[in-house]
């Protein structure tokens, strides 16, 4: 599916001023048939012909921009092409196009290459921002699905990790309790030793005092 044909024409004189075709040989004839049927008023038309779609924009300046694409081609791409052709043709020639509007293909040499470039540009899906955004969303969904599948595949390992973590937490709490008990026991032991030492010291001092008193008497 692609854009096959693009053209700029004079709506008043019913003449194609420039065109480029990368599709069937009948595209030029189809475009001229549509041009002949257009009323000379600003409008946008879409025609279905066999397996093709023909897009035409009649502007206030009296110019007609035509695109032909496969019927499966996205409409927005054809509209973008017509807008680009309109802005680029007017930017290049302004009102001077009217001086040569009575001659068939009078701008073929100067504008056909531009039409070719724009056909190639809009035939590349990477230049369609809407298409690009849609592909990014699609890829993001795919990544999410893959991540979920990966987690499901690792489910048993994750459960094992949870169990090991819970066991480590229990062991840490038990160790903390035992450490507190040991610390309390050590403190009590040290306290008892201090008391015993004090008592012994008092007894020794008392004995020495008694001995000294006895000797003196």
- For position 211, what pLDDT does the model report? 72
Per-residue pLDDT tens digits of the chain, which is 217 residues long: 799 999 999 999 999 999 999 999 999 999 999 999 999 999 999 999 889 999 999 999 999 999 999 999 999 999 999 999 999 999 999 998 998 888 999 999 999 999 999 999 999 988 876 545 555 555 554 555 555 555 555 554 555 656 666 666 676 677 667 667 766 666 666 676 667 667 776 766 666 767 777 666 5
What pLDDT sits at residue 128?
A: 76
Go through 80-115 and write b for each residue having 16 or more CB atoms within 10 A of its CB, e for each that does not. Answer: bbbebbbebbeeebeeebeeebeeebbbbeebbebb
């Amino acid at each position: 599916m692609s854009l096959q044909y693009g053209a700029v024409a004079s709506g008043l004189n019913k003449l194609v001023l420039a065109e480029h075709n990368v599709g069937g040989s009948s595209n030029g004839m189809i475009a001229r048939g549509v041009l002949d049927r257009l009323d000379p008023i600003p409008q946008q038309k879409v025609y279905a012909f066999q397996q093709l779609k023909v897009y035409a924009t009649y502007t206030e300046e009296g110019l007609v921009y035509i695109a032909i694409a496969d019927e499966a081609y996205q409409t927005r791409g054809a509209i973008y092409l017509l807008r680009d052709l309109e802005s680029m043709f007017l930017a290049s020639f302004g009102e001077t196009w009217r001086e040569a509007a009575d001659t068939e293909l009078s701008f073929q040499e100067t504008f056909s290459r531009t039409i070719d470039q724009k056909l190639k540009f809009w035939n590349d899906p990477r230049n369609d921002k809407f298409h690009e955004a849609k592909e990014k969303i699609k890829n993001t969904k795919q990544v999410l699905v893959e991540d979920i599948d990966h987690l499901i595949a690792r489910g048993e390992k994750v459960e094992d990790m949870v169990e090991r973590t819970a066991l480590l937490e229990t062991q840490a709490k038990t160790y903390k309790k035992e450490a507190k008990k040991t610390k309390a026991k050590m403190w009590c032991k040290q306290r008892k030793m201090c008391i015993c030492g004090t008592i012994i010291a008092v007894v020794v001092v008392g004995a020495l005092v008694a001995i000294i008193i006895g000797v003196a008497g």
